[in-house]
Amino acid sequence: MIKRTISSTLILVIVSLTIYFFRAVGCVGLIFLAGLLTQWEFYKLLRKIGQKPLIFTGIFCGALLMLGSFYADRPNLAVPSCAELLYLSISIVVIQALLSHSLEMSKNCIMSTIVGIVVPFMCCFPIALCHEMSRYGLSNNHYVCTLFWMILVTKCCDIGGMFAGKYFGRHKLAINFSPKKTVEGLFGGILFSNCVGIILLFFCRQWLPHGLGTGQAIILSTLLAIFSLVGDLVESVVKRLADEKDSGTTLPGIGGIFDLTDSLLFSIPFGVLYLKYFVHYSYFIAKGVYFH
């Protein structure tokens, strides 16, 4: 517990200082770093399962994807879109595997490498959100607070689920994937996420998207909590197949970076899509502003 507390405090200090001094660029840098480290640990787990991903090729392609999502929307730069970079990444992996002239090599590395590229691809969504919000008149402070809101709401599902599962858990949720998770823990996590989401909305309303009212916050908090479970279960499956308790040893008391980011991989991209299609639009259309 002491090691976990020290690691958590250190992470909080580093993240806070980075965001304080570098604002939106700091957020993007942290996402970029976390995405690559998570991908690295994911590939190492796949190696322990018996797969042979092209680790450095996959990480190179992942870095291109995330950089592309940051620079693609700048009108003075001819940068390929994220979809185009994803196509190029897959092509690079396939060509490298085929050039090995080994059927076994191709079978073991193509799919595992491409699956690993999904990790940085998921990170493209919160990175691209920076430009998405500025395009519609929202500042970097809006971006930082919105991202912080989604991350905190998601992680609070983990905290609420842990306590609710410990004291009230009776019915197993996914016994084959994660035996400790319970239905009661899930509902406890959703409830805690909703409470934190509403409290943060009350104190930070001026720095959150204007269309994010109480009703929208409850809906989004609930969905973020549910999607955080999806990411958590995906990591649990991979770790069980690899016969590992943690994804790594980078963070004493916590495990690896993947253990920290697993619940965010599916929830934050979904949150970005929800904001784009159900919050921003509802606000601007209500004000009589239409997009072209």
- Tens-place pLDDT, residues 181-213: 899 999 999 999 999 999 999 999 888 988 898
Give residue 101's pLDDT: 64
Give pLDDT tens digits for 270-282: 999 999 888 854 4
Give residue 44's pLDDT: 96
Give residue 276's pLDDT: 86
pLDDT band per the 50, 70, 90 thresholds, residue 117: very high
Return the SS3 of 263. coil
pLDDT, the chain, mean: 88
Q: Which amino acid belongs to residue 250?
A: T
Q: Is the pLDDT score of 284 beyond 50?
A: no
The burial class, CB within 10 Å (0-12 / 13-18 / 19+), for 217 is buried
Percent of the chain, pLDDT > 90?
Answer: 59
Q: Is the pLDDT score of 47 beyond 90?
A: yes
Q: Is the pLDDT score of 75 beyond 80?
A: no
Give residue 290's pLDDT: 37
Q: Is the pLDDT score of 83 beyond 80?
A: yes
Q: Under 8 Å CB-to-CB from 68, ≥6 apart: which residues?
A: 79, 80, 81, 82, 84, 85, 124
Domain boundaries, the chain: 2-286
Return the SS3 of 73. coil
Give pLDDT tens digits for 227-242: 999 999 999 999 999 9
Give residue 282's pLDDT: 44
- Report the relative pairing of strands 172-174 and 178-182 from DSSP bridges: antiparallel
Question: Secondary structure of the chain: what % helix, strand, coil (to 5)?
Answer: 80, 5, 20
Q: List alpha helices for 136-243, DSSP H.
A: 140-168, 183-204, 214-242
**Token representation of residue 107:** 């079978």
d(C-alpha 133, C-alpha 139), whole Å:
7
pLDDT band per the 50, 70, 90 thresholds, residue 79: low
Give residue 247's pLDDT: 93
Give residue 210's pLDDT: 81
Give CA 16 to chain center in angstroms: 18
For residue 279, what is the DSSP state? I
Give residue 8's pLDDT: 82
CA distances from 147 to 40, 140, 143 (A): 24, 11, 6
**Token representation of residue 241:** 């197949």
Give pLDDT tens digits for 86-110: 999 999 999 988 887 677 667 778 9
